[in-house]
Amino acid sequence: MLEITSSVQEITLGVDFIDVYKHSELYRTNKELIKRLSSPAPGSKDLYFPTQYQQSFFRQFIACLLKQHWSYGRNPPYNTVRFLFTVFIALMFGTMFWDLGSKTAKEQDLLNAMGSMYTAVLFLGVQNSGSVQPVVSIEIAVFYRERAAGMYSAFPYAMAQVVVELPYLLAQAVAYSLFNDRIRMDCC
């Protein structure tokens, strides 16, 4: 149809399709229909909803939590890489700072131990924030679409993301502690 109504065809046929449509019965019928449907029916009332969202905060939170849980369950590469990186960093820092816990004779020794813990936590934090970016970039598009549809507000979604991360972070902390602290403190 577009090849028939193109400007080249208008010039070839000597017809202005816009004028033809504006002077047609279809145009007048469409205008009347638009005018009739643009005003509310007599006796009708405006829509009223007591709350912005149909479900309570808790129900929104549970729905978002289950959705996030399923999303994390369907993404084993992200969780596996994060866990293996934690074990690798624990072993690396554990061997680098071997026997550091037994050497606390001077203040500098204590500062060295604290610095090693700070560096390890910083390393894991940077790695976690870097590895989560692809996951978040996919999830944020879904979040915008569902929020625009009025499915839930941002707060239950954010809370669900925090809660769904807790078991993974706890597993990371336990794995790091088991490998790293055991290596560093063995000789004490």
- pLDDT per residue over 124-157, tens digit each? 889 888 888 888 888 899 999 988 888 899 999 9
pLDDT at 18: 84
In the chain, which stretches have pLDDT less than 70? Answer: 1-4, 101, 181-188
What's the pLDDT score for residue 79?
87
What is the C-alpha separation between 5 and 13, in angstroms, rounded?
Answer: 10
25 vs 29: CA distance, rounded Å: 6
CA distance 160 to 60: 9
> What is the Cα Rg of the chain in Å?
31
Per-residue model confidence (pLDDT) at position 188: 47
Q: Rounded to whole angstroms, how far apart are CA atoms 83 and 176?
A: 9
**Which pLDDT score, from 0 to 100, does residue 182 have?**
59
Q: Reduced to 3 states, what is the DSSP secondary structure of residue 100?
A: coil
pLDDT for residue 45: 87
The confidence score (pLDDT) of residue 27 equals 93
pLDDT of residue 187: 46
The per-residue pLDDT for 29 is 95
CA distances from 60 to 53, 65, 132, 158, 166 (A): 9, 8, 23, 11, 19
The CA distance from 85 to 179, in Å, is: 12
Supply the pLDDT for residue 184.
Answer: 52
User: Which of 92, 68, 76 is CA-nearest to residue 159?
Assistant: 68
Distance between CA atoms of residues 79 and 172, nearest Å? 10
Please choose, from the candidates 181, 85, 178, 176, the residue with its C-alpha nearest in 3D space to the C-alpha of residue 126. 85
pLDDT at residue 170, rounded to an integer: 92
